[in-house]
Amino acid sequence: MVATKAKSASVRVRFPPSPTGHFHVGGARTALFNWLYARQHGGKFILRIEDTDAERSDQKYEIELVEALKWLGLDWDEGVDWQLVNHEWQGSSRGEHGPYRQSERAPVYKRYLEKLLHDGKAYYCHCTKEDLEAERQAQLAEGMPPKYSGHCRNLTESPRGKKPELIRFKTPEARMEFKDLIRGTVSFDASLFGDLVIARSVESPLYNFAVVVDDYEMKITHVIRGEDHLPNTPKQILFARALGFPEPLYGHLPLILASDRSKLSKRFAEVSMLKYRDEGYLPEAMANFLAFLGWHPKDDREVFSLEELKGEFDLKRVQKAGAVFNQEKLDWLNAQHMRRLSIDELLNRLQPFLGEKGIAAPKSFVRKVIAAERERMKTLGDFLKLAGFFFELPDYDAALLVWKGNSMARIKEVLEKILARLEKSRASDFSREKLPGAVAELIKEYDRGAVLWPLRVALSGQSASPDPLAIAGVLGKEETLRRVTAAINKIGLAL
């Protein structure tokens, strides 16, 4: 609470989202950078919900945010004694913390608003919306940039019959600068601001004021946030100075841009983190992707777990230039991270994506399916699309069985010979390693495509799949014979 204490305290950072929309890539990147900075300095990561705008705030976004932070593995420290149970906040006896919420802290802001009013550093403004609009129009007509004229700054008593409308800060007319951790020295001309509105009443502070009070009360040492907040920083520094607070260090993260360096479209910018989760991106891949939005390591390594990022991340290596959002990179990272997982771990992560048939199937079978398909999967959500045929053969057209340059009758003949060979093979020989022997002679007699293509279609019902002998290995003798027989019958009907 003492003004000098924050300076000597260890690192304390905050992530203060407004629950007015989905928790998207920009917010998640800010959360991650703060979390990494806190964790690598043995500091604290504070989560604060900025819900002073009651009309636009919605608890559903707060719940989404908490779920997404937990999914990403970004745990926070301190907070109020609440926890999220079945999508509702409940009093916690388990010591879990819910985030701080500005809507629950009105008395704190009131104290500081009253102090500024008492010290003559803020004043009640009685100008109505209409007064202000008239003033603005007059300034524009004279070709001047609009700013509040300071009409109510020196009133000694309230104008009769007029209620105070707002509380304004007496902005000093000065140039000011601060040292940004990423952008270097940034300077502003505060005289362009005019007297800033800091509250609608002592009960109802505005964003810029509440942030300054909270950052002080929560002993925040570093404010790391998106570059879109840069215009707020000089205002917040002015308020902090007027209240005698120490100034935290500021670092503004670069904008996130589309691949052609234009503004990132809503299609990408506003996608909820939970949507990525539901599509089957791994949280470690998402964190890895977010980390590279404005940062890169010393060498050219690209695949990092959250734990590895903790060791490697360095705020000093965050760039000023816009960071490009590249969907292909996310897909690539996701595939890389999936390859890092053991089959059992993948099986675990795939549970929500298995579908009814996948869940009902024996675990040993699903493990084999995963091993056969993992190289082709970009997301967990791809699993059923790619591997669904293992669980249930989709319907397909007899014509698909025909390899180019062959007749249906010839393919039927090939399939009958494959069937005969496979019937003679031992069930224990049904593996990718041992099955080639069973079809080697047929391949010599007909050719690779004429043998393996109809086998692929017979076993998968589709034109793209893993190696057909690997499929046969996973399906086992009985099911393989059943599917090849079904293919022969299908052609028989079509001939």
Question: Which helix H or strand E contains 129, and what residues bound it?
Answer: helix 129-141
Pair 213, 199: CB distance under 8 Å: no
Neighbours of 389 (CB within 10 A): 19
Calculate the CA 264 to chain-centre distance: 15
Query: Nearer to ligand GLU by C-beta: 293 or 415?
Result: 293
Does 384 engage in binding with ligand GLU (CB under 6 A)?
Answer: no
- Which range touches ligand GLU (CB under 6 A), out of 15-23, 136-144, 150-158, 364-372? 15-23
Does 64 engage in binding with ligand GLU (CB under 6 A)?
Answer: no
Give the span between the Cα atoms of 207 and 209, in whole angstroms.
6
Query: Nearer to ligand GLU by C-beta: 211 or 411?
Result: 211
Query: Nearer to ligand GLU by C-beta: 54 or 493?
Result: 54
C-alpha Rg value of the chain to the nearest Å = 32
User: What does the chain come to in residues?
Assistant: 495
- Which range touches ligand GLU (CB under 6 A), out of 13-21, 70-78, 124-132, 403-411? 13-21
Which member of 121, 163, 219, 266 is catalytic? 266
Query: Nearer to ligand GLU by C-beta: 218 or 469?
Result: 218
Shortest separation between residue 100's beta carbon and ligand GLU, angstroms: 12
What the block records as the tokens of 416 is 């009958």
Residues 212-231 that bind ligand GLU (CB under 6 A): 225, 229
Does 18 engage in binding with ligand GLU (CB under 6 A)?
Answer: yes
Q: Please give the angle made by the CA atoms of 108, 65 and 200, to the nearest 5 degrees.
A: 35
109 burial type by CB count under 10 A (0-12 exposed, 13-18 middle, 19+ buried): buried
Answer yes or no: 266 catalytic: yes
Does 16 engage in binding with ligand GLU (CB under 6 A)?
Answer: yes
What the block records as the tokens of 78 is 């301190």
Shortest separation between residue 48's beta carbon and ligand GLU, angstroms: 8
Does 29 engage in binding with ligand GLU (CB under 6 A)?
Answer: no
Pair 212, 236: CB distance under 8 Å: yes
Q: Which distant-in-sequence residues (6+ apart) come within 8 Å of 406 by Cβ?
A: 414, 450
Helix axes 468-494, 363-373, angle to 10 degrees: 90
Pair 188, 199: CB distance under 8 Å: no
Q: Is 5 annotated among the ligand-binding residues?
A: no
Residues 153-212 that bind ligand GLU (CB under 6 A): 211
Does 382 engage in binding with ligand GLU (CB under 6 A)?
Answer: no
Pair 69, 60: CB distance under 8 Å: no
Question: Which helix H or strand E contains 210, and what residues bound it?
Answer: helix 207-217
Shortest separation between residue 221's beta carbon and ligand GLU, angstroms: 14
- Which range touches ligand GLU (CB under 6 A), out of 16-24, 262-270, 418-426, 482-490? 16-24
Does 50 engage in binding with ligand GLU (CB under 6 A)?
Answer: yes
Query: Nearer to ligand GLU by C-beta: 245 or 403?
Result: 245
Does 17 engage in binding with ligand GLU (CB under 6 A)?
Answer: yes
Query: What are the residue numbers of the active site?
Result: 266
Q: Which residues bind ligand GLU (CB under 6 A)?
A: 16-18, 50, 211, 225, 229
Residues tagged in the binding site annotation for ATP: 266
Residues tagged in the binding site annotation: 266
